[in-house]
Amino acid sequence: ISCACVLCLMKVTGDLDDCTCDVETIDRFNNDQLFSKLQTLLESDYFRFYKVNLNKACPFWTVRSHCGLKDCAVQPCSPNEVPEGLRSSSHNKVSQSGSADQESPCEQAGHLGAVDVSLSDETREALLNWSKHDDEAERFCVVDDEESPDSQYVDLLLNPERFTAYRGPEAWQIWNSIYEENCFKPYTIKRPLIPNLFHSSSGSEGQCVEKRAFYRLISGLHASINIHLSARYLLDDSWFQKKWGHNVSEFRQRFDSELTAGEGPKRLRNLYFLFLIELRALAKALPVFQQPSFRLYTGRPEEDRRHKEQLLHILQLARSFPLHFDETSLFAGDEKEAAKLKEDIRLAFLNISRIMDCVGCFKCRLWGKLQTQGLGTALKILFSERQIEALPTSSSKRPSFQLSRQEISSLLNAFGRISTSIRELQNFRSLLAEER
């Protein structure tokens, strides 16, 4: 058996371009310190339930068909399972007392945004302000309207990201559109796009660090998604069982240096670059979550307190990482040119988040929307340093920087996907070594 793919993973070592960090340090930090803690937090109700609108029309082209495969479907919480407090407004209802172990998961999800009546009026008012922010000019992604009748809660643990066997035309059109049409100009689709599931990283050579970083982030996100699909591949689809697991052949097709004309290792290095960007955003967001008014509301005070402690521990762990990406290298030139470039990149990323509504497979659409929104939220944090530094110490004052619950959930879940991808690379290294 060819050892090319084992070698391609071995080549992903040493320093990363545009960074002071190295792959080995990231592997040790993620796999030994961070991964298990993060996964435990993401299993909590605040993060496992994600409200999303999967019925938006594609704004760029006509989606002629949707995936009819069972594994493409998403199972949302049905309306009669969601309490009235969540259906009408998740921020202005008082949680009802009751036994949590007698509630269904979707009923428990209904308390996600409920206000704890033990809070003071001052703190409650501060919490309400969090849901009334108007920071559209700072967003790098489209955030679904949680009050829309088409938005529904989805249990991410019951709808995992994995291979669905969907191979519709949008599968390649999505990524070609992202790579070819978002070159910092107004988004238009003028021609059919040639299938090419990965953009060559060489296309970013000679560009300024900002544009190179933009392409590396998208390439890293694409690599991460493909690792997930290879790690949870449908191996057995018989009439009596479905079995998902690691598909080494599929992984090799996507990352083998020989089969990808040398691009595989570059894609994996871009995954590590993406990890550093999102890790840096988590570290910088720590003051946001340390505010006294911030709560992970599920309506169960003791669990909420414990989960906030877990979240703060993870963010403090992120801050302790010794080789963070230095975001000050971005947009550091002429002030006017830097502002224009930042806006171009922000608009390009907004387009990418809109493209996710064009995915024909609903499960792929769910995870695509979540991960692009998570990355967009990370970028919003990175470029809001002054607002974060100006956060008030009093809970009665309106925060200068705010995140919606949807942004918080997507930020942590998206980073959880990147963390999982890096952990899975370790598994694929072992499997490929066994094949030799």
pLDDT tens-digit readout, 16-64:
766 667 889 999 999 999 999 999 999 988 888 888 998 888 887 776 6
> What is the amino acid identity at position 385?
E
Tell me the percentage of the chain whose pLDDT exceeds 90: 31
Query: CA of 163: how far to CAs of 228, 233, 250, 382, in Å?
Result: 8, 5, 11, 32
Instruction: Give the pLDDT confidence of 310-357 residue by residue, as tens digits.
Output: 999 999 999 999 888 887 777 766 778 778 878 888 888 888 888 888
What is the predicted pLDDT for the residue at 68? 61
| Higher pLDDT among residues 86 and 128, named by residue | 128
* Contact assessment for residue 72 and residue 164, using Cβ atoms and an 8 Å cutoff: yes
pLDDT at 378: 94
Is a pLDDT exceeding 50 seen at residue 116? Answer: no
DSSP state of 15: B
Per-chain mean pLDDT for the chain: 76
Lowest mean pLDDT among 124-133, 296-305, 310-319: 124-133
Give the CA angle between residues 224, 36, 162 to the nearest 5°. 35
244 is in an annotated binding site: no
Helix-, strand-, coil-residue percentages of the chain, each rounded to 5: 55, 5, 40
CB 389 within 8 A of CB 189: no
Query: Is 367 marked as a binding-site residue?
Result: no
pLDDT at 150 over 70: yes
Q: Is 199 annotated as a binding residue?
A: no
Who contacts 108 (Cβ-Cβ below 8 Å, separation ≥6)?
45, 100, 298, 299
The pLDDT tens digits for 234-270 are 888 777 788 899 999 999 999 998 899 989 999 999 9
State the angle between helix axes of 209-231 and 248-255 in degrees (0 to 180), rounded to the nearest 10: 160
Task: Please report the pLDDT score of residue 295 as a whole number.
Answer: 82
pLDDT at 172 over 80: no
Which pLDDT value is given to residue 215? 86
Lowest mean pLDDT among 80-84, 165-169, 244-248, 269-273: 80-84
Q: Which residues of 29-48 are buried (b: 16+ CB within 10 A; e: fewer)?
A: bbeeebbeebeebbebbbbb
Tell me 31's DSSP state.
I
Q: Is 66 annotated as a binding residue?
A: no
Indicate whether 221 pLDDT > 90: yes
Q: Looking at per-residue confidence, does 4 or 239 come out higher?
A: 239
Summarize the confidence of residues 172-176 as an average pLDDT: 66
Average pLDDT over residues 294-299: 79
Q: Is 91 annotated as a binding residue?
A: no
More confident residue, 222 or 198: 222
Is residue 195 predicted with pLDDT exceeding 80?
Answer: no
Location of structure tokens 């996710």: 356
pLDDT reported for residue 204: 54
162 is in an annotated binding site: yes
In this prediction, residue 290 carries a pLDDT of: 93
Q: How confident is the model over 412-422, as a mean pLDDT?
A: 97
Residue (of 344, 374, 343, 338) closest to 356 by Cα position: 374
Confirm if 356 and 372 have CB atoms less than 8 A apart.
Answer: yes
Question: Which one has a higher pLDDT value, 272 or 293?
Answer: 272
Say what the pLDDT of residue 327 is: 79
Catalytic residue among 19, 21, 77, 361: 361
Distance (Å, whole) CA 273 – CA 337:
25
| pLDDT at residue 11 in the model | 59
Query: Is-catalytic flag, 77?
Result: no
Asked about 364 being catalytic, the answer comes back as yes
- Return the higher-pLDDT residue of 372 and 203: 372
